Structure 1
């Protein structure tokens, strides 16, 4: 998940609340999953703050369950189990089951067992792994070796290959954003916006019946947008090759890796924005479409009704909509 910093304030301690403004919008910002999260809602302040508090509590719990690096997380314990079954939380089981469904739907172009290859890369420090190391890591990539099941009320997970490693970073934010959505609805909010590090959920509408206008990120330039979409009850996610990247010896590297080679996927696409009813669909499909490239990606999008709209920005700056 992408990193975000805030001047001199530890991320886990940062909390900023503002509003209600003249339109009645209450806003709260905090950090979790190494990224910035913004919650906005049109409702009375007390209802908003109670709902936002529940979301923050959920965020801390999910971080403890899903992190690949926290040693006592469910994901870390499954990775360290040497092929043995591990009891996991119900939420972890739900996330893994959803993730495996996307692995199957993408014919393996999205694979949650890429952890062995992902951990070899450090694009922030321009660390590029050797081909020998990647070949060894890719030998342990196969989502079909992950099992998730329930036994007597206990949820269990297992990786058949003791040297394989799960990394849910490519889909967890979408699942979490959908969970946050359900929490806010349960707390009585109807008209709200969630921005979880670029995973945007727009629920309901603005006062007077206007839709939320969601900026479509330009994957080539941080902070820039290529347009805006009016959205009600939907999520938008942009995946781009320039989100995390580096150049070494004149060669460009990005963070979306091929399960076949462990190297960055070869694609004519700089980024893809997907609009879907659920944020997990928007996130899961955006990465798949980017890896497929424009022609195959457009064909894939047309065959998947969960994709409301897909906007491709090619590396030569063309914008193509499904």
Structure 2
């Protein structure tokens, strides 16, 4: 099997066998992206190239660190309205909806707090720093509106900071599946570093099998989810964490105190028709803990299944 570099940006691996998918791999959003599809090689190759271009565009719109992204321009505009792309407006509106339904445990304006932490170097902000940053956290101060033929957004608090890291990958995964489907590709798997979205199952009618990682050994799988159409997204404390003086600090921070959440869930995996819903509710269901999270998931019509794993690797699941 040949692995062919395209434009030095991603690797395209042709199937070489009709029973196997074509694949592409590239890096975006600080994670590895894997695309997989069955079908005519020329059609799939063209679709993958369009998907790569879409990812580059999304990264330049949604990134919190790129200086000219829509998000950065909103965060640095001093509260003034900023012209934004339609995709940014759609993602912001959807994200505000997930904040509203999060029971107070998810807020996209946590950027002022998250930038104080460094989970690579093990940097912990002081209480004074946290409290100061938390005074600028309130998703209700984010506004989006149409403006002529375009869109604009602004912040009530000039010192607030939007961070779409908790919602963007799901939005993008859905967009990539829709893009590939529109290109005439019927058997699709998109994996954005663990955000998995599929459509059309496998050519023989079998569903895709998506692994749920073992929190104690993330290189292995503890269980699997079988799905032909929809998305599977996992949020886990093990994904980014560090230990200091015998205490573990995870990357999911509480809007109430700016500290890592306290939960009995090591990970939560959500299943839904749209990856945006999996991503948008995953932080909330992880933060709520297993019992409260399962109860709340049952009230969410978008969510069709949940898999919780606790610190002892016990699995609790529910599906409609």
Shorter chain as denominator, the TM-score bin is: over 0.9
CA deviation after TM superposition for structure 1 residue 265, in Å = 0.6
Partner of 2:244: 248
Bigger Cα displacement from structure 2, 287-296 vs 221-230: 221-230
Q: Is 1:212 matched with 2:213?
A: no
Partner of 1:107: 103
Q: Is the 8 Å Cα contact of residues 213 and 228 (structure 1) preserved in structure 2?
A: yes
> TM-score scaled by structure 2?
0.95
Partner of 1:82: 78
Q: Is 1:96 matched with 2:128?
A: no
Distance 1:174 1:220 in 2: 25
Distance 1:105 1:111 in 2: 10
Distance 1:288 1:221 in 2: 24
Q: Which digits, 9 at most, give the CA deviation of each residue in 1:94-137, with x for residues without a partner?
A: 11001000000113311000000000000110111111100000
Q: Is 1:19 matched with 2:35?
A: no
Distance 1:245 1:161 in 2: 30
SS in structure 2 opposite 1:168?
coil
Distance 2:145 2:38 in 1: 40
SS in structure 1 opposite 2:219?
coil
> TM-score scaled by structure 1?
0.94
CA deviation after TM superposition for structure 1 residue 24, in Å = 4.1
Between Structure 1 and Structure 2, how many residues are aligned?
311
Distance 1:241 1:45 in 2: 39
1:285 counterpart (263, 268, 281): 281
Alignment of 1:201-240 (within 5 A): 201-240=197-236
Distance 1:305 1:149, change over 3 A: same
Q: Which runs of 5+ in 2 are unaligned?
A: 1-6
Partner of 1:200: 196
1:188 counterpart (163, 178, 184): 184
Partner of 1:32: 28
CA deviation after TM superposition for structure 1 residue 168, in Å = 0.2
After superposition, the CA RMSD in angstroms is 1.1
Distance 2:201 2:16 in 1: 16
Partner of 2:3: none
Partner of 1:156: 152
CA deviation after TM superposition for structure 1 residue 88, in Å = 0.5
Partner of 1:72: 68
SS in structure 2 opposite 1:81?
coil
CA deviation after TM superposition for structure 1 residue 63, in Å = 0.6
Partner of 1:5: none
Q: Is 1:141 matched with 2:137?
A: yes
Bigger Cα displacement from structure 2, 117-126 vs 20-29: 20-29
Q: Is the 8 Å Cα contact of residues 214 and 313 (structure 2) preserved in structure 1?
A: no
Q: Is the 8 Å Cα contact of residues 219 and 238 (structure 1) preserved in structure 2?
A: no
Q: Which runs of 5+ in 1 are unaligned?
A: 1-11
2:302 counterpart (276, 281, 306): 306
CA deviation after TM superposition for structure 1 residue 245, in Å = 0.3
Deviation above 3 Å: which 4+ runs of structure 1?
none
SS in structure 1 opposite 2:105?
coil
Distance 1:224 1:187 in 2: 34
CA deviation after TM superposition for structure 1 residue 202, in Å = 1.5
Distance 1:189 1:133 in 2: 50
